[in-house]
Chains A and B, each alone.
Chain A
Amino acid sequence: MSKNKKKILIVDDEIDFTNSTSHRLNFEGYDTIEAMNAEEAMAILEKTVPDIILLDVMMPGMTGVQFFEQLRKDARFKDIPVIFLTVWDRLVSSDSHGAKEKAVLVTKPFEFDTLLKTIREMISS
């Protein structure tokens, strides 16, 4: 893991999804950390702060939205950009997740180039 590599936390209960996404991001030059649920992700955050979080919405236990709200309450993590990755596009298309809050929505399935473009934009802003 090189120091200048951007670190991406992927939170998703679908292991095949996190794996395939992780493979591609690694191939594209990113470091990735995978979490199967919100609790696991929170534990990871205590150790390391990623440059961006790819967050599934529907997960067993704490949902992606609840995790996000908790994240934004914590001063340490409130500036980490979040990309919601969800099949439930309409559920989160509310006002609370604008560009100002460094959170965008990408609907699964997605064209990987779109995701990469979004990641680059979110990290650089």
Chain B
Amino acid sequence: MKVGLLKNISNKFVFAIVSIVLSLTAVFITYFTIHNRNSLEGFQKSVGISLVQSMAESSRLGLISSDPIYLEQPFSIAMNNPDVEFIAAYDKNGSLISKTSRSEADLVLTGAIIARIESAKGPFAGERTAVAGDEVDDFFSPVFSEYEFDTETEELLVLKKEYAPETIGRRIGAIRIGMSRKRIDAAEGAAFLVSAAMGITAAIFAIAISLLIASRITKPLKALEQGTKSVIMGKLDVSVPITSDDELGSVAGAFNKMTAALRETTVSKDFMDGIVESMNEAMVVLDNDRSITTFNSAAEKMLGFNVDELKGLSVDSIFYDPENHPVDGGRWQAIMANLLSNAQTEFRTKEGHRVPVTISTAPMKDKEGAAHGVVLVARDMSEVYSLLDQLKVHTAELENYQSVLFSMLEDNERARAETESERAKTVAAVESMADGLVIFDLSGKVLIMNRASRAMLGFEEDTEATAEGIRAVIGDAFDPLISNAESLAAEHFACELTLGAERKRAIRIEGLPVTKGGERIGSILVMRDVTKQRELDQAKYELISNVSHELRTPLAIISNVISNALIGVSGELDERLRTNLEMCGSNTRRLTNIIDKLLNMASMDKGDISIKREMTDLSAILKDISASFEQEARIKGISMSLNIPKAPITAFLDAKAIGNVLLNLISNAIRFTEKGSVTVEAGVKGSFVEISVSDTGIGIPKDEQSLIFDSFHQIGRTYGPGEKGVGLGLAISRKLIEQHGGSISVMSAPGKGTRFTILLPIGE
């Protein structure tokens, strides 16, 4: 019986009943073959026995509880058999629980016969256990008795009695069915059709019974099968095989426990206990004082109490709210009247935890109908509630997401509005800028060209702002910037032009790639009118130049006089005077150096570039220049060294220009070095001469290294305003070097030092 189909009790019942139907059909086939009265009688007998047995089975609860309500169903089913005239059920003591019979109109047997049968000796005589020497009738109940009614004497003659074989045990009650044989007599003539009809009817009824039983009786109670039949027969020492692990199996187990215990205790209680134990639901039985008398292991498990703790407790103590629950004092009467049955509430476990439960209550009544307690069945709803809670949480999360989404949408809307107004502000600000600004998109199209830039480039009011128009004014030097749209390291572009009426405006133009989040989004040209600045530069140059030259004349005289005196033009000198004059001489040279540098700076700032190349002794220049810085380096505490080959290096170059470049590089090196050394090196490399100026100074940030040779770039503005004015130095240096056909480059590690390297062609 382990087949899947039969794991369900209902299916088993269907199977069982269908088997009965099949056997009945077999009986009919036999009847058709033999076709005599005996077979008809036999058939009715077997039908009767089957019927009474199946009734006994389905009436168990009614017999045990002596409650007629449980008998209604089996009675009505049995009454479907037209031969059944009456049914009676008796408890274990032989007392009538319930009986039914056909209405007068339908009655085949006369009322007198029924009365006689009913008054005949009871199905069994009292509750007792069989003992040795018992007469059959004293103990066994006949399962089949055949009577004949003598209509003249009105005597009921017992023709035949049959007893249930081999079963022995304890009676729980009896079912008596009276069946008329008149129908058989009437059918004798037309046995075929009638019998067939009966067979079909029986089959239909059997299927109906099976379906009804299968659908109605779902409790494990009905799983007792053969064992229960034996118990009905009074043979109580039986056990049913546990052949499956379904409800039936557990009930069978319970049944076996029950039968084992039947001898020592009352049948109904232990039977109930067994069933109750096997339930998954918590079952608690209360007495009339609302005290707990019985409970099952499910209840024990659910509540966490053990047997001794729970027994005798008021039912209030198992509810979370002991004063207000479905079985509280206020509702008790309603429960007793069977008016309340289902409710949801919470149990309180021994540890004080809440257990949500759905409970059903039903009053227990004795055979007289008097309530003697309440049965309470509770189903643990924790899992269901926790699922519901989870659902609630998910719902809340969804709502939360939804609100976040909405707020995001709102934010987005707001942000867009803000962006619009920001853009308007930006455009207005760009328009009112004093600096010229032209913004290009990636394709080189002009997006914005502000008023200042139009004025600087001389665009008329109605001139269309295009890259071509701008190119016509400033030349094509910015083409690489706007055409290399994808390149992040696009050409940085810088130039200075004299534009405007009579070309008197000095306009500095810088072009920069515009990036956002690491992506190139366009380019800009920034234009600044530096006319004022250039005028100031010029004025500064002129001032410095004039002052320097004015100073040079007296210096030349002083230098001459000192030189003359030291050489002895005016006669021999005493030693002290000579020393003093030498001091004057060296300081005159120092002053001359300072003025030279000042002049160089001023002229470089002004941007005067023109070179005149000739074969020059570069070694001598290097010596002179590095010597001129020695004192400055010494004062700063830096070592100054010159590493050049012994053989003089000569190259075709403008000594003054290269001198200025070196002057600029070395003075920067000293300026930006606080400790360590400044080293000047030179050597021939193929057709080039390589000159390097390295220092151990602060270095140049990586991102500035590529920009330092650009015009107007000031190395590290952080050096302070005092350092300003050499911004053009490296740009001019590069121009001078490039005019020589050479190159200048830089390598620098911030914090470690910088090395400038110049490559100059040796020959023409």
Contact with A along B543-569 (1 / 0, CB 8 A): 000001110110111111101100111
Answer whether residue B301 sits at the interface, using C-beta atoms and an 8 A cutoff: no
Answer whether residue B608 sits at the interface, using C-beta atoms and an 8 A cutoff: yes
Which residue of the partner chain, among B552, B561, B603, contacts A20 with CB atoms under 8 Å? Answer: B561
**Chain B residues positioned under 8 Å from A108 (CB to CB):** 552-553, 555-556
Q: How far apart are the CA atoms of A50 and B603 in the complex, in Å?
A: 36
Q: How far apart are the CA atoms of A93 and B550 in the complex, in Å?
A: 19
Q: How far apart are the CA atoms of A112 and B560 in the complex, in Å?
A: 7
Of A87, A88, A111, most B-chain CB atoms within 10 Å: A87
**Chain B residues positioned under 8 Å from A20 (CB to CB):** 557, 560-561, 564
**Chain B residues positioned under 8 Å from A14 (CB to CB):** 553, 557
Answer whether residue B592 sits at the interface, using C-beta atoms and an 8 A cutoff: yes
Task: Give the segment of A21-29, A40-48, A61-69, A76-84 that binds chain B.
Answer: A21-29
Which residue of the partner chain, among B561, B592, B608, B612, contacts A95 with CB atoms under 8 Å? Answer: B612
Which residue of the partner chain, among A23, A58, A95, contacts B564 with CB atoms under 8 Å? Answer: A23
Do residues B563 and A88 form an inter-chain contact, with CB atoms below 8 A?
no
Q: Within A72-121, which residues are at the interface with B (CB < 8 Å)?
A: 85, 87-88, 90, 93, 95, 107-112
**Chain A residues positioned under 8 Å from B568 (CB to CB):** 27
Do residues B564 and A109 form an inter-chain contact, with CB atoms below 8 A?
no
Interface size on B, residues (CB 8 A): 24
Which residue of the partner chain, among B570, B588, B608, B612, contacts A109 with CB atoms under 8 Å? Answer: B588
Which residue of the partner chain, among B557, B569, B570, B608, contacts A17 with CB atoms under 8 Å? Answer: B557
Q: How far apart are the CA atoms of A17 and B555 in the complex, in Å?
A: 10
Answer whether residue B656 sits at the interface, using C-beta atoms and an 8 A cutoff: yes
CB distance from A50 to the nearest CB of B (A): 19
**Chain B residues positioned under 8 Å from A58 (CB to CB):** 549
Do residues B563 and A112 form an inter-chain contact, with CB atoms below 8 A?
yes
Q: How far apart are the CA atoms of A88 and B599 in the complex, in Å?
A: 10
Which residue of the partner chain, among B558, B559, B603, contacts A110 with CB atoms under 8 Å? Answer: B559
CB distance from B433 to the nearest CB of A (A): 39
**Chain A residues positioned under 8 Å from B592 (CB to CB):** 109
**Chain B residues positioned under 8 Å from A16 (CB to CB):** 557, 561
With A23-B564, A23-B569, A108-B556 as known contacts, state yes or no: A90 contacts B549, CB within 8 Å: no
Q: How far apart are the CA atoms of A88 and B560 in the complex, in Å?
A: 18
Do residues B612 and A17 form an inter-chain contact, with CB atoms below 8 A?
no
Q: How far apart are the CA atoms of A87 and B550 in the complex, in Å?
A: 8
Q: How far apart are the CA atoms of A64 and B568 in the complex, in Å?
A: 31
Do residues A110 and B612 form an inter-chain contact, with CB atoms below 8 A?
no
Do residues B552 and A87 form an inter-chain contact, with CB atoms below 8 A?
yes
Which residue of the partner chain, among A24, A87, A90, contacts B556 with CB atoms under 8 Å? Answer: A87
CB distance from A97 to the nearest CB of B (A): 11
Q: How far apart are the CA atoms of A72 and B656 in the complex, in Å?
A: 27
Which residue of the partner chain, among A27, A87, A90, A95, contacts B603 with CB atoms under 8 Å? Answer: A90
Q: How far apart are the CA atoms of A111 and B628 in the complex, in Å?
A: 14
CB distance from A72 to the nearest CB of B (A): 20
Q: Closest A-chain residue to B588, C-beta based?
A: A109
Do residues B569 and A93 form an inter-chain contact, with CB atoms below 8 A?
no
**Chain A residues positioned under 8 Å from B553 (CB to CB):** 14, 17, 87, 108
With A24-B564, A87-B552 as known contacts, state yes or no: A109 contacts B603, CB within 8 Å: no
Q: How far apart are the CA atoms of A21 and B550 in the complex, in Å?
A: 18
CB distance from B573 to the nearest CB of A (A): 14
CB distance from B560 to the nearest CB of A (A): 4
Which residue of the partner chain, among A23, A109, A112, contacts B555 with CB atoms under 8 Å? Answer: A109
Q: How far apart are the CA atoms of A24 and B592 in the complex, in Å?
A: 20
Q: Within A5-34, which residues are at the interface with B (CB < 8 Å)?
A: 14, 16-17, 20-21, 23-24, 27
Which residue of the partner chain, among B548, B552, B559, B612, contacts A93 with CB atoms under 8 Å? Answer: B612
Which residue of the partner chain, among B555, B564, B612, contacts A27 with CB atoms under 8 Å? Answer: B564
**Chain B residues positioned under 8 Å from A24 (CB to CB):** 560, 563-564, 567, 569
**Chain A residues positioned under 8 Å from B548 (CB to CB):** 87
Q: How far apart are the CA atoms of A62 and B560 in the complex, in Å?
A: 25
Q: How far apart are the CA atoms of A29 and B549 in the complex, in Å?
A: 30
Do residues A109 and B556 form an inter-chain contact, with CB atoms below 8 A?
yes
Q: How far apart are the CA atoms of A50 and B550 in the complex, in Å?
A: 29
Q: How far apart are the CA atoms of A27 and B553 in the complex, in Å?
A: 22
Q: How far apart are the CA atoms of A109 and B567 in the complex, in Å?
A: 17
With A20-B564, A24-B564, A27-B564 as known contacts, state yes or no: A90 contacts B555, CB within 8 Å: no
**Chain A residues positioned under 8 Å from B550 (CB to CB):** 87
Q: How far apart are the CA atoms of A63 and B561 in the complex, in Å?
A: 25
Do residues A109 and B569 form an inter-chain contact, with CB atoms below 8 A?
no
Q: How far apart are the CA atoms of A103 and B559 in the complex, in Å?
A: 23
Do residues A93 and B557 form an inter-chain contact, with CB atoms below 8 A?
no
Q: How far apart are the CA atoms of A17 and B548 in the complex, in Å?
A: 17
CB distance from A115 to the nearest CB of B (A): 9
Q: How far apart are the CA atoms of A73 and B569 in the complex, in Å?
A: 37
Do residues A21 and B612 form an inter-chain contact, with CB atoms below 8 A?
no
Q: How far apart are the CA atoms of A21 and B559 in the complex, in Å?
A: 10
CB distance from B607 to the nearest CB of A (A): 13
Do residues B556 and A17 form an inter-chain contact, with CB atoms below 8 A?
yes
Q: Closest B-chain residue to A58, C-beta based?
A: B549
Do residues A109 and B552 form an inter-chain contact, with CB atoms below 8 A?
yes
Q: How far apart are the CA atoms of A8 and B549 in the complex, in Å?
A: 25
Q: How far apart are the CA atoms of A93 and B609 in the complex, in Å?
A: 12
Of A16, A17, A20, A24, most B-chain CB atoms within 10 Å: A20
Of A21, A27, A107, A108, most B-chain CB atoms within 10 Å: A108
Chain A residues within CB distance 8 Å of chain B: 14, 16-17, 20-21, 23-24, 27, 58, 85, 87-88, 90, 93, 95, 107-112
Known: A90-B608, A112-B563. 4 other contacts (CB 8 A): A24-B569, A93-B656, A108-B553, A109-B558
Q: 21 pairs across A/B with beta carbons < 8 Å?
A: A14-B557, A17-B556, A17-B557, A20-B557, A20-B560, A20-B561, A23-B564, A24-B560, A24-B564, A24-B567, A87-B548, A90-B603, A93-B656, A108-B553, A108-B556, A109-B552, A109-B555, A109-B556, A109-B558, A109-B588, A112-B567
Chain B residues within CB distance 8 Å of chain A: 548-550, 552-553, 555-561, 563-564, 567-570, 588, 592, 603, 608, 612, 656
Q: Which 6 A-B pairs have the closest CB atoms?
A: A87-B552, A20-B560, A109-B556, A108-B556, A87-B549, A109-B559
